[in-house]
A and B are shown apart, each in its own frame.
Chain A
Amino acid sequence: MTHPPYLSPGYGSTILRAPSQPPVAFKADPDAIELTSPVFGHQEVGSLDADLTRQHPGEPIGERIIVTGRVLDSDGRPVRDTLVELWQANAAGRYAHAGDQHPAPLDPNFTGGGRCLTDQDGRYRFVTIKPGAYPWRNHANAWRPAHLHFSVFGRAFAQRLITQMYFPGDPLMALDPIYQSIPDDPSRRRLISSYDHDVTEPEWALGYTFDIVLGRTPVEPS
């Protein structure tokens, strides 16, 4: 079991949004459009889109980090030229979103959204700042651990994945019903990035590695 169940009552928003019926398993024909994915062109993603620290005139406040990893299929093969999107809160734990009322400062030099395409090894790379933890109203004294949101397309629309990356050693993971919604510990731990000193750049930024493995689809294109 990899994915969290839809209904995970500790995370209150699932109670009225989780489908009550299981998804209908369908032995898809090889021509089903869900087994294909949109192709994103390199001209559609700007070279600065992957550097969230350079989207404004000044530098954002916070701990500068490099986050990189590979997008792989279930056989460990690289998924090339696929779109990876990242979004996050700023260093104070505040999103650049009108609905986020956490009384922490906005950063005029940080929006917190980025995009890139994977290279021929399936690798993506972002430069950003480490997000802060933030409170939410799920339960008393609820705090989300620091996390980056990731969106990945893969080779099939049925493989589409949105997930969250966490940071090693964060004590809030043990208390977080979203992280804990994943039923088994080995699966949960796959969402924790690794500190990687080989990615760290001297006098510049700390490096983290986070690989993303997409689910199997019934028809794997070669």
Chain B
Amino acid sequence: MTTHAATPSQTVGPFYSHALPYPKDWELVDDTHPDAITLSGLVRDGAGDPVPDALLEIWLGRTGDRGALRRGEGGLSGFGRCATAPDGSYRFRTTRPEGPYVSMQIFARGLLRSVLTRVYLADRPDPFLDSLDPARRATLIATGEGSAYRFDVRLQGEGETVFLDF
């Protein structure tokens, strides 16, 4: 039974960079970690143009021992944050998740509510992927070779990324 009505969402706006980013926010592991992978890509809008002021967060499902906000030396954090560059690109250094996907949340000017998606590192049978229109399934599969994965986010339009509602 819900007794309290939820607080509505509002946009992150364009001017968060003096407050939300923090040192090593995109580095869930440091560059000496034996299982480090990179996850990078572009965020684009409905015209296909880069979104230079988006904020991305990823979550692996476990907090880890590196510090989610104040990073220590070594170890692993399950949480990371990355503001897109002027060309709309983002980058995380992380490890592969224990499960099949990384949870990703995107905030931006013009998004009155965040969007939540999943980055699957391989295209395998999966209850959520299998529930999707085959044409849209591919939007959730990262591409890549070795330890470098690429995942583009299309907020709107051709190849629009599948977003989830819980």
Question: Which A positions have Cβ atoms within 8 angstroms of B?
Answer: 2-6, 8, 11, 13-26, 28-29, 32-41, 43-45, 72-76, 83, 85-87, 89, 95-97, 99-100, 111-115, 149, 151, 156-158, 160-164, 178-179, 181-182, 186-188, 190-191, 211-218
Contact = CB atoms under 8 A, between A and B. Distances in A.
Nearest to B112: A4
Contacts of B108: 17
Interface in B66-85: 67-70, 77-79
A56 to B, nearest CB: 13
A24 B13 contact: no
A24 B54 CA distance: 22
B8 A3 contact: yes
Contact of A217 (B19, B53, B161, B166): B166
Nearest to A71: B7
Interface of B: 1-20, 45-47, 49, 51, 53, 57, 59-63, 67-70, 77-79, 97, 99, 101, 103, 105, 107-116, 127-128, 131-132, 136, 155-157, 160-166
A198 B37 CA distance: 51
Which A-B residue pairs are the 3 nearest by beta carbons?
A113-B19, A13-B110, A33-B61
Contacts of A17: 45-46, 51, 108-111, 155-156
B20 A97 contact: no
Given A26-B128, A190-B8, 12 more contacts: A4-B8, A24-B165, A29-B127, A32-B166, A33-B59, A33-B97, A39-B68, A44-B70, A151-B12, A157-B103, A190-B7, A211-B7
B116 A149 contact: no
A41 to B, nearest CB: 7
Contacts of A21: 136, 160, 162-163
Contacts of A40: 68-69
B60 to A, nearest CB: 7
Contacts of B13: 149, 164
B164 A34 contact: yes
B10 A163 contact: yes
Contact of B9 (A15, A89, A111, A161): A161
A5 B132 CA distance: 23
14 contacts: A3-B6, A6-B111, A16-B47, A17-B110, A17-B155, A23-B115, A28-B166, A40-B68, A40-B69, A76-B4, A149-B19, A160-B114, A190-B5, A211-B7
